Chain A
Amino acid sequence: MVNHPRYIDPVKCTGCGECAMHCPVAAINEINKGLDDRRAAYIEYPQAVPLAYAIDFDACIGCGLCENMCMAKAIKYDDTERETAVKVGSVILSTGSQAYDPSDLDYLGYGKYPNVVTSEGFERILCAGGPYLGHVMRPLDREEPKSIAWLQCIGSRDINRCGNGYCSSVCCMYAIKEAMIAKEHIHADVDCAIFNMDMRTFGKDYEKYFLRARDNEDIRFVKARAHTITEIPETGDLILQYADEAGQMKEEIFSMVVLSVGLKIPDSSVDLARRLRIELNKYNFVNTGSFTPVATSRPGIYTCGVFQGPKDIPGSITEASAAACLAGTDVAEARGEDIEVIEIPEEMDVTKEEPRIGVFVCNCGINIGGIVDVTSVQEYAGTLPYVVFTDQNLFTCSQDTQDKIKEIVIEHKLNRVVVASCTPKTHEGMFMDTLEACGLNKYLFEMANIRNQCSWVHPNNPTAATEKSKDLVRMAVARVATLKSLHEKKIPVNQRALIIGGGVAGMNAALSLADQGFPVTIVEKEEKLGGMANRLTTTIEGADVEIYLEELIQKVTSHPQVEVLPRSLIVNFSGFQGNFTTEILVGPGMYERKIDHGVVILATGAVEYRPKEFLYGQDQRVVTQIELSERLKEKGAQDLNRVVMIQCIGSRNKENPNCSKVCCQSAIKNALHIKKLQPDAQIFILYRDIRTYGFLEDYYTEARKLGVLFFRFNSEDPPVVESSEAGVMVTFKDNILDRSLRVSADLLALSSGMVAEDTEELASIVKLARTEDGYFMEDHVKLKPVDMATEGIFVCGTAHSPKLLPESIAQALAAASRATTYLSKDQLTLSAVTAWVNPELCASCLICVRSCPYGVPVINEDGISEIDEALCHGCGVCAAECPAKAIELNWYEDNQILSKVDALLEGVL
């Protein structure tokens, strides 16, 4: 590995930003897409981790100002490239993508007209930390735009100008999001229009977002690809020229145009793949298999995120866990070998002692000290009740100060510590470790945030900043005096996993865990494993699902660590992370069995929607896409001269507003299959939006090349289907001819969507959240896509949302990976910040039961509320709601919070 020089030591750098503040050189700020400047000493963005600056040596003039200013002595002008060799068992490539640069598409005027920006640029314009601090303004005159147009598919779905035939998958959603936020930020009426070929809102609940944008926020969706943008020089407004769906030439004027640029793989990643000898596809994304979605062509090297294929955040995070699962499995035997055990001295008992508080005030170089009068804050701290020691440090977080604090705690018999410095979000854990290392309970600690929330935000008012610092220190001292020692409970972990559902997702999750040595039980309600995949023939890429499934079932049933319980039903469930107990009725005799396990993976799957529409079930010639695949495999297509397919059956309608994601590709897969068997067959696909995201777009292109005919219909004006002896008569409107067409088809294939398996009972037994359409609801849509809200329970496959086989497999691996984070430990450490009930005060009024966002409190056998500390998330909602004041949240007890308010307002009246 080569580490490029940063010229600022990231270990020494405290992120104070003095170097950037004094740097005299301006450079283009790439993160804000050139809409503003940055210094040569810079940090890419304020949220960067680690928060360490670097010097852009191409821009630096070597004046030495930053070196003089840096009190942490982190500037290293002579920094050089370093080479490091690391011995590893597996590698994950997650190098991501870059946005397509539209400068070469001359008809768009990007780079020529200031008010044409890319979606990345607009994203920065919307951002509070962006060039205009979140005020939506045009780059030309910093005026608020009155109308904004988004142009979709810039650098995607374009083989004509840029060679990117794939769909970037994310742009439709981000364009809607940008339009919604623009509407929110601009208080005046702003006309937002999204020019698209198809709106591809295919993810979980994404269609609902699209409908909200269209129906509630009045965002316009125009079916067109603009061919020319010209600027009106006097105003900077832009004229957009396009042809509408009927082929009419149109012109519209917008104050701003946003180009929804697609995702592409940077040259550096292509180079890396070449050096690692990894196969890439024709668009430079990593070549992965239908059934091995995160494995590269070279064993031991895995990939995830956009390098694997265009995708959004939840998909990337899911794949990241999946790649981690496989990478971890390769080295499972060596697990835990490099762990260092830290010796912790025995804890001092300070419960009976009067508080003896030490206050350490930090200068943070000149970050605090340059504004706040630290000496006067330190002196003031010495006057506060129970304070027996005060000190100030240049950098309280430095290793030598930590050592000094340890000595002082012992020497001065301190039993409470306050550090007045930066934010507890980044440094609390470190200081708490210091306390622990000298035998003091780590919860006898409090921070006063006098940097991030004081000196940094009030640099022009040093007197007020000093007063505020004194107040914050007084509040912290008051609180720390009320704190009690707390102990984190350790609970054992049962290393068995219970997997509910034995389809492709469930089996993949089971195998991944079993291969790492964890015992697994699969509960399957049917006689046979395989679920929905039993009905599938091939993937669109041509991989044989039947063979795959057979091998998978064979592996699962012969694995010594996997137990399969077919025809079984879950009847009872209890416990918490690491320690669940499930009661199961096991078929065929339906005898009862109790299983203890540490985690649960939900993989209950989905089924094909059984259409009520278009004569399905009444006319034999009307079939679903899955039935058509089966038929093509069994009977071929010799007798098919004309086939009509209708999309969005049982999806995107009133009953089920969401998109089922897989049906567009199912239709195209079958259409291509028919064309292969019977090249002269006429195929009509009647659709609303074709949603062949990612590389699926290639198959859509191929289908059109082979003469498959696509007609868009409006949901208000759907096709009409009648039965006749000659064929199934389908009448629909052609938008270009602006007239009705009638086709007599040998076969009508309905692209029917997915429906979640009936999981209502399971959800009530295990206490699981579901979406309106019955899919399990994950803890966080973006950041925790396979975790359920209850710790230790995970979800994967179509039980989560409609998805294709490779996506189900990736999510199954991800769920296994997340489960491993529990199963690989002998014991779990629970947070001490949990709520507890004083039984004497509890009136069993049920308010806590109803208000807990995680459904944790229960009324126990004695008729009082009980909160399981292993399930409690420590938010404290119950403590706030309890009318009898019977509930307290550790570390945030009423008096511990109010002590701060009291200290602040002391003597005000």
Chain B
Amino acid sequence: MDVELQLNVENLISRYVHAIDDDRLEDWPGFFVEKGRYRITTAENYERGLPLSIVYADSRAMLRDRVSALRHANIYEAQRYRHTVSSTLIERIDGNTARATSNFQVVRIMHTGDSMLFAGGRYLDRIRLDGNDSRFEEKLVVLDSRSVDTLLAIPL
């Protein structure tokens, strides 16, 4: 096993989920390359080869627009996430690129105190390797369930 590669990728994913859980959403687009792709879809759509996403961006600019909308336009009750990521398998594509598959679960904590298992599934990532500055070229979030409770505002 390439331990350095494993640590590099796991570190990127850990920093990514901590940024979201700590409400540092403004840092979120920076985990992607400039033309990075981010999609959330369901396992059903993914397995049937259907292109629909719940969220779809193909640039950092689109990710920044989503953060801007969440901060200034969209209305939703105060809530936080707590991500748990595990079982990351990594495959090197070439010297600069790797593919990673991880399991994740997200607990959503509402301001009322209600907590629920909000989302679970896989991260299917393609990563541009660059020492301590590795970034996602693509992050595909595949939800195991086709159902989302109420709304999905904060990214996964």
A binds B: no
Residues of A within 8 A of B (CB): none
Which B residues have a C-beta under 8 Å from some C-beta of A? none
